[in-house]
């Protein structure tokens, strides 16, 4: 898989809005909320042009019943795909280029808090977001044909920011 990061595109938010409406219809009453996550949700940073979505549902086991509805939207069902408690779907365009990732978790999963804290911290801390953007650009140049090495190269930074983000979230709650 080619590793490509591009400047922030304001149209990513509209792409999220459009796709989330379709997913909401597919998942029906089990769906609670859809969040735009990942780098395309963070203004002004470089990102792989793939819309990452986090869906909170009432019951994770009911997602299996809606797999055919997600497939009808063009998604490939990947099951847990290495993360217990998650249902993962991915979508490509007609040219075979990945366009969307959908991560579904049951409400109150700690994974939801982790993803949202990272996103919100990066939005609230533009210097950290800029560091992340520069790292992603550097790794994409270094590993243009190796997505695993690109992802591995981001791992330490992400873990460090996640820790800060969760701490920041707790401090924000305590100051209210």
Q: What is residue 44's DSSP assignment?
A: T
Mean of pLDDT values over 100-122: 97
- The parent domain of residue 64 ranges over 11-174
What's the pLDDT at 174? 82
Q: What is residue 79's DSSP assignment?
A: T
Token digits of residue 152: 């591995």
Number of structural domains found in the chain:
1
Reported as a single tens digit per residue, the pLDDT across 61-87 is: 999 999 999 999 999 999 999 999 999
Classify residue 90: in a domain, yes or no.
yes
What's the pLDDT at 154? 97
Reported as a single tens digit per residue, the pLDDT across 11-33 is: 999 999 999 999 999 999 999 99
Classify residue 84: in a domain, yes or no.
yes
Residue pair 131/53 in contact by the 8 Å Cβ criterion:
no
CA 28 – CA 67 distance, rounded (Å): 12
pLDDT reading at 93 higher than 70: yes
What's the pLDDT at 109? 96
CA 3 – CA 18 distance, rounded (Å): 25
Mean of pLDDT values over 87-91: 98
Mean of pLDDT values over 136-165: 97
pLDDT reading at 176 higher than 70: no
CATH number at residue 39: 3.30.460.10
pLDDT reading at 56 higher than 70: yes
Classify residue 168: in a domain, yes or no.
yes
Classify residue 2: in a domain, yes or no.
no
Token digits of residue 7: 């400047």
> How does residue 172 score in pLDDT terms, banded at 50, 70 and 90?
confident
Q: Quick one: what percent of the chain has pLDDT higher than 70?
A: 99
Q: Are strands 51-57 and 31-37 parallel, antiparallel or unpaired?
A: antiparallel
Classify residue 79: in a domain, yes or no.
yes
Does residue 82 come out as left (phi exceeding 0), alpha (psi in the -120 to 50 range) or beta?
A: left
Cα dist from 63 to 32, 74, 110, 124, whole Å: 12, 16, 18, 33
Q: What is the mean pLDDT of the chain?
A: 96
Classify residue 77: in a domain, yes or no.
yes
Contacts of 3 (CB under 8 A, 6+ apart): 48, 139, 140, 143, 144, 145, 146, 147, 150
Classify residue 3: in a domain, yes or no.
no
Classify residue 5: in a domain, yes or no.
no
């Amino acid at each position: 898989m080619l590793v490509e990061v591009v400047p922030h595109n304001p149209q990513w938010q509209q792409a999220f809005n459009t796709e989330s409406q379709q997913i909401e219809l597919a998942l029906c009453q089990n769906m609670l909320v859809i969040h735009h996550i990942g780098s395309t949700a963070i203004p002004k940073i470089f990102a792989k042009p793939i819309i990452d979505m986090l869906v909170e549902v009432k019951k994770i086991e009911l997602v299996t019943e809606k797999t055919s509805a997600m497939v009808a939207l063009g998604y490939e069902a990947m099951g847990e795909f290495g993360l217990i408690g998650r249902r993962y779907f991915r979508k490509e365009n007609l040219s075979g280029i990945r366009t969307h990732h959908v991560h579904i978790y049951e409400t109150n999963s700690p994974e939801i808090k982790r993803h949202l804290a990272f996103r919100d911290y990066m939005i609230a801390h533009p210097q950290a977001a800029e560091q992340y953007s520069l790292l992603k650009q550097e790794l994409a140049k270094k590993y243009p044909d190796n997505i695993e090495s690109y992802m591995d190269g981001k791992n330490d930074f992400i873990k460090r920011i996640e820790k800060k983000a969760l701490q920041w979230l707790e401090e924000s709650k305590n100051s209210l």
